[in-house]
Amino acid sequence: YKLLSFVCGVDCLELPVPYRFKVTYSLLNPERSRRLRLEVPCADDLEPAAASVCGIWPGARLHESEAYDLLGITFEGHPELERILTPDGFEGHPHRKDFDISSEPVAFTFRDTPMGKPKAAE
């Protein structure tokens, strides 16, 4: 399979499976019009980890960084694993099912200008 469509981390907290986290890989073989989905469970529920596939599919780099940022799954052998979506200093992983969202402050803004399609200046 030459093409990696996506890499996705999954939190299986509420499912009846023996592991909490898994990594799903969607692969494509365009020459044979075949698709393959691999699901790899992470053995450790407290510090989930999987092997990086960046050496095989370089396009996995951002997908793995996203799963690390949002779910805390570490990809061993990743060339530069870092947070890419949450701000610097953010604590926790917001896509984990046990992440507390009740304490997140919400900032509202109010517009003084009317809503609608902007008009060209004359």
pLDDT digits (tens, 9 = 90+) for 70-80: 999 999 999 99
**How many helices (H) does the chain have, and how many strands (E)?**
1, 5
Domains of the chain by start residue, with CATH: 3-76 (3.30.460.80)
pLDDT tens sequence across 38-72: 999 999 999 999 999 999 999 999 999 999 999 99
What's 68's DSSP letter?
Answer: H
Which conformational region is residue 77 in: left (phi greater than 0), alpha (psi within -120 to 50 degrees), or beta? left
Residue 89 is predicted with a pLDDT of 86
Token pair 């399979």: residue: 1
Residue 112 is predicted with a pLDDT of 64
Q: What's the full length of the chain, in residues? A: 122
Using DSSP's 3-state secondary structure scheme, residue 60 falls into: helix
Residue 87 is predicted with a pLDDT of 87
